[in-house]
Chains A and B, each alone.
Chain A
Amino acid sequence: MPSMRLLVLEDDASLGPWTEKGLREAGHVVDLFTDGKDALVAAMGQDYDVLVLDRMVPGLDGLSVLKALRQAKVTAPAIFLTALGEVDDRVAGLRAGGDDYLVKPFAFSELLARIEVLARRVGTPEDRSSIVTAGDITIDLHKRSCTRQGRPIDLNPKEFLLLEVFLQSKGRVQTRTMLLERVWDMNFDPTTSVVETHISRLRRKIEKPFGDTVIRNIRGTGYVFEPV
């Protein structure tokens, strides 16, 4: 992941610096603000790759900051951090021009994974063709078919969707929650091992016959797809 310039608006005296430090250690340039107005001025003045906005901060709240920025045609992707977890708040955030939403408390790895997905979304335009290839794996989005090393692999719809998500975000960590949202459209934690089960089935089909590993489990975080 190339270094990004990030704006973080978070007024909590311990969460703010924690987020800043974590993102710096991940190799990004971070500007931390504790006041909404300062963040707004900064985001107007220069281009950021991703905006990380807390919803409740003194001065101007994160929602208003983003609304103002969107009015000023600032298109940088934004992710909201919030202690408000209700669906209505989520919708309000997305409506204000937010691209993602993360409810506190969250794992840092979750935040990092989501920021990196957002940056990629605008950074490199998605390949529009229906054929997606990663290493020796190729999927056809129209025919819903998959081949590895030229051998067809039979996947059920969820496994296919899972692989599609992995292929489109190769090298980037996908957390369990992100996969639940993107593949199963689930905004709640199903507590049973839905993700684990489907991934282990997918791996059985896509890795086992070839004797290698393309989907790696990152302990306590999620999964990452690394094509051979």
Chain B
Amino acid sequence: MSLNRFSRLLRLSAVRQAFGFLILFFTISIVAWGGTFLLVSWEMQRIVDARLMERMDAAIASLDAGVALPATEADETAGFVDGDEKEGLRTEDLEGSSVEMRYLVRTTSHGRLQIGENTELQEELRDILAGGMQISLLATILLTAIAGLWMARRSQDRLDTVSIGLAKVAQGDLGARIALEGNDDISLLADRIDGTTARLETLVMQMRVQSSNIAHDLRTPLARLRAQLETNLLALIERDRPVKTDDLENALEQIDRITGTFEALLRLARIESGAGRDAFKTMRLEELIAEIVDTYGPVVEEAGQTLEVTVQDAASIAGDHDMLVQLLANLIQNALRHGAANQTISIGVHGPRLIVTDEGPGIPFGERENVLQPLHQGEATRQGEGFGLGLSLVRAISELHSAELSLSDGPNGRGLCVTVNFPRLTDL
């Protein structure tokens, strides 16, 4: 392994962590096992020393009683030594052999007495203990290192999977998913990232669809306008027919309509981007409805239709006043445009629910999801002036307000019933 590769390995957080733990574990093991070894050695020596004291006391008692020294076992010694030997306990290796002896020397009234015991066995035990401990220490450290590196490698692999997945997304492959298996924090993180990418992919796809729809929505009226102007020009050149006021007014009107569509598209994009949520204010649905009725009541009446309002336990909601006015305006416009002649348009408020019902042909069940999608209407309806954006705006505004938008049949299976269910203030 080259130095470069090694230093790169050390930069991996999981490997670093494993390394740190290895050092910590190593230190703890050394301290624990060294301590145990010392304690065991001391304890063995203490037992031998106690035995030597006991035998010394017995020997002195025998000498005081005038009896001979007690008999010694095979690995014991007892006898008088000359005055050179220091008093107390000492350990001595016998020359020429591996035998280790422990002696106790004490001066008695009978002379300088030395009691000895062969401690070869204890020494061997200590050696075995030390050996065993060294082996187990080495084995533990080796195994810990292997396990640590394995675990580090494993989580590093998982991190690498996440990192590679993200790199793919960064390169523009929004279809890339990390799809990390497992049930830990890293897989949770990976799931979150996948969720974000999926949302991003949907948004980008929606944007692509929208751009082409925008192109369609603007190109079609532009083509119409161009055709009209060209006809006028040709008529002027070839047949000397002067351009009429009507022609110009017509052209201007079409330009205004195109501008209107453009404005609505920008507005939709802005609402869908989630802007404006921080400007939400608390408002009463009742007051909002009253305002709308003031504005649209006469419009509906002039169209020969009836506007009916029912309010029941109206709740307060958090929202953007202008957007909510637009939502209601669009729903009423929609009802006016597609409803039956002489119909009754009803606006109802029930708690946090806003319901607008007309008596028109309604929308077939299969089409309902489509009409709410941004600019997904069938070609037939798309030709209408700026229409197709009305319900999309309603959907976008509902979404911005975390409100649930649903379409259903009106009462008696007739007409369209649009329900916008706002979250109650307490649920926010």
Chain A residues within 8 Å of B, Cβ to Cβ: 85-88, 103, 105, 107, 156-158, 184-194, 197-198, 200-201, 220
The answer to whether A85 and B263 touch across the interface, beta carbons within 8 angstroms, is yes
Residues 377-390 of B, flagged 1 when their CB comes within 8 A of A and 0 if not, give 00000000110000
Q: How far is the CB of B3 from chain A (nearest CB, A)?
A: 54
The answer to whether B294 and A156 touch across the interface, beta carbons within 8 angstroms, is yes
Smallest CB gap from A220: residue in B: B249
Query: CB within 8 A of A186: which of B256, B270, B325, B385?
Result: B325
Question: Which B255-285 residues have a C-beta within 8 angstroms of A?
Answer: 255-256, 259-260, 263-264, 266-267, 270, 275-276
Query: CB within 8 A of B267: which of A184, A186, A188, A193?
Result: A188
Assuming A156-B294, A191-B333, A220-B249, is B270 touching A86 (CB within 8 A)? yes
Assuming A192-B336, A194-B296, A197-B299, is B270 touching A87 (CB within 8 A)? yes
CA distance A186 to B385 in the complex (A): 20
Which A residues touch B267, using CB under 8 A? 188
Query: CB within 8 A of A190: which of B252, B275, B276, B329?
Result: B329
Smallest CB gap from A198: residue in B: B298
Which B residues touch A188, using CB under 8 A? 263-264, 267, 322, 326, 329
Query: CB within 8 A of A197: which of B252, B270, B302, B386?
Result: B302
In this complex, how many residues of chain B approach chain A with their Cβ under 8 Å: the count is: 28
The answer to whether A105 and B259 touch across the interface, beta carbons within 8 angstroms, is yes
Smallest CB gap from B263: residue in A: A85
Which A residues touch B255, using CB under 8 A? 105
Smallest CB gap from A91: residue in B: B279
Question: Chain B's interface: helix, strand, loop or mixed, by majority?
Answer: helix
CA distance A193 to B296 in the complex (A): 9
Query: CB within 8 A of B298: which of A107, A184, A197?
Result: A197
Q: Is B295 an interface residue (CB 8 A)?
A: yes
Which A residues touch B386, using CB under 8 A? 191
Smallest CB gap from B325: residue in A: A186
Which B residues touch A186, using CB under 8 A? 322, 325-326, 329
The answer to whether A86 and B295 touch across the interface, beta carbons within 8 angstroms, is no
Q: How far is the CB of B98 from chain A (nearest CB, A)?
A: 93
Give 26 CB contacts A-B under 8 Å: A87-B270, A87-B275, A103-B263, A105-B255, A107-B252, A107-B256, A158-B294, A158-B295, A185-B322, A186-B329, A188-B263, A188-B264, A188-B326, A189-B260, A190-B329, A192-B296, A192-B329, A192-B332, A192-B336, A193-B302, A194-B295, A194-B299, A197-B302, A198-B295, A200-B302, A220-B252
CA distance A103 to B322 in the complex (A): 18
Q: How far is the CB of A187 from chain B (nearest CB, A)?
A: 6
Question: Which B2-44 residues have a C-beta within 8 angstroms of A?
Answer: none
CA distance A78 to B270 in the complex (A): 26
Which A residues touch B256, using CB under 8 A? 107
Q: How far is the CB of B71 from chain A (nearest CB, A)?
A: 110
Q: How far is the CB of B419 from chain A (nearest CB, A)?
A: 22
A107, A186, A190, A201 — most chain B CB neighbours (10 Å): A190
The answer to whether B266 and A86 touch across the interface, beta carbons within 8 angstroms, is yes
Smallest CB gap from A187: residue in B: B322
Smallest CB gap from B387: residue in A: A191
The answer to whether A87 and B276 touch across the interface, beta carbons within 8 angstroms, is yes
The answer to whether A85 and B299 touch across the interface, beta carbons within 8 angstroms, is no
The answer to whether A85 and B333 touch across the interface, beta carbons within 8 angstroms, is no
Which B residues touch A105, using CB under 8 A? 255, 259
The answer to whether B295 and A184 touch across the interface, beta carbons within 8 angstroms, is yes
CA distance A193 to B333 in the complex (A): 10
Q: How far is the CB of B264 from chain A (nearest CB, A)?
A: 8
CA distance A200 to B264 in the complex (A): 27
Apart from A158-B294, A186-B329, A192-B299, 5 more pairs, CB < 8 Å: A88-B275, A105-B259, A158-B295, A189-B260, A194-B299
